[in-house]
Amino acid sequence: MRCLNPRCGRVIPATVRYCAYCGSKAPTDTVPAAPPESGAPKSESGAGRAWFTRMLDALLGRGSRGPAGAPATPADAGQRAIRTEAPPLSTPPPVRRAPAQERNLQPAAGSWPVAIIETIAVDNVARLERFATLGAGHAGGGVCFSPDGRLLAAGSDHGMVGLWEVSSGREVWSFKDQLDWVHGVAFSPDGHILASASATLTFWDVAAGREIGSLRGHRSAVRSVAFSGDGSRLASGSKDGTARLWDVASRTELWSLRGYGDPVASVAFSPDGHLLVAAAGRRVQVWEVSSAQRIQTLDHPAPLTSALFGPDGNLLAAGSTDGSVALWDLSARRMFRSLGGHMDAVQSIALSSDGRLLASGSADRTVKLWDVGVARERVALLAAAPVNAVVFNPSGQMLAVGQADGDVTIWAVRPPSP
């Protein structure tokens, strides 16, 4: 049977009193094993159940129930009463949803009603309309739109990659990657291939919903993945301290950038595909793709978590653990702005297609929208959990926000009201 907690829903044995995952009380229709007949010795299964119950009570801090399920002592009852009467936390930690069962590589049904839930005016820059939230538990990792904006892919911390149709909310496919965090996902420019970054780099056929290959070479988990503009190259950054460039057609490694010393948190191509940026530790390095020569090294006072080029290829933005977003002018080789305001690490950044708006998602459970031209914060969106990923669709008319609790919120970015 399943746990009654709607945010858990995991399968639990019919003989336990509490869910081992979230601590909720088991369903009332749980049927314990029949007691042994009078005079018969206690069975091993009954002893095992009593031992499991005592261990679970100890782990969850409910106090001992005594041997063989004996009633608790007055001291134990008092301790449990104190725990029960303790006020709840004002901001409880996010609860990750359990992945759906038996959905690997199978089309799934379900959709959301496309209706405006909330509207926020962003001065005279834009108008945000929240119209959908995916709560399927696949998020927690990377999020990306397909090149035509029709599909949304999201990775999770339990090895799943979900694929949704944006217009209806219908889940198209659910890919089972590995039992590892899917840190990043990326579509090829033609939208036919989806790459996922976890323990390895995996290629998926979007139309057929099946794995078509993988790239091996990193000695630790892959943190970031990106396709070049023409789709012929793939870049990856890993916890092993290297960034690698791959040939997509032959599935071979072209070159490896070593010597970072820190995990490579982010990689991204310039719009023309000639340059590659890799962020690791407190440094951002810009490389020429054709020659594997380092062009620039930019230093930052705090560790960096994400980096990307602006639409003109001259602007470089990077988020960091100190809660700021740094803006560099590559031609002048200088940082000309630092956008501060988050109370915790900036874990993801995204630029709209015209480069006017920059979104930053943070562990402080907010998404801030910045006007790049004047380097000013326009609005702060509150999230229910730490924000792991933010991404605009190719037209810049939608913003997806991936949260640590497994939700993905979709915002429509409209022109400002007249």
Write out pLDDT tens, residues 106-124: 333 334 444 455 666 666 6
Does residue 256 form part of some domain? yes
Are 157 and 71 within one domain? no
CATH code for the domain of 206: 2.130.10.10
Task: Name the most confidently modeled range: 94-108, 135-149, 204-218.
Answer: 204-218
pLDDT band at 28 (very low <50, low <70, confident <90, very high): low
Are 172 and 51 within one domain? no
- Which pLDDT belongs to residue 281? 92
Does residue 10 form part of some domain? no
Cβ 61 vs Cβ 83: under 8 Å:
yes
Total of domains in the chain? 2
Q: Using the 3D structure, point to which of 85, 107, 135 is the last residue of a domain.
A: 85
Does residue 202 form part of some domain? yes
What is the CA angle 332-337-340, rounded to 5? 155
Mean confidence (pLDDT) of the chain: 78
Alpha-carbon separation of residue 352 from 263, 356, 358, 377 (angstroms): 27, 6, 6, 15
Checking if the pLDDT of 103 tops 60, the result is no
In degrees and rounded to multiples of 5, residue 78 shows phi and psi of: -65, -40
Are 244 and 370 within one domain? yes
Does residue 14 form part of some domain? no
What is the CA angle 124-125-131, rounded to 5? 110
- Which pLDDT belongs to residue 209? 85
Write out pLDDT tens, residues 267-321: 999 999 999 999 999 999 999 999 999 999 999 999 999 999 999 999 999 999 9
pLDDT band at 36 (very low <50, low <70, confident <90, very high): very low
The conformational region for residue 38 under phi > 0 = left, psi -120 to 50 = alpha, else beta, is beta
With a threshold of 0.75, does the pTM exceed it?
no
pLDDT band at 146 (very low <50, low <70, confident <90, very high): very high
> What average pLDDT score do residues 161-181 get?
80
Q: Which domain holds residue 52?
A: 44-85
Write out pLDDT tens, residues 192-224: 999 999 888 999 999 988 889 989 888 888 999
Higher pLDDT pick, 151 / 23: 151
143 alpha-carbon distance from chain centroid? 7
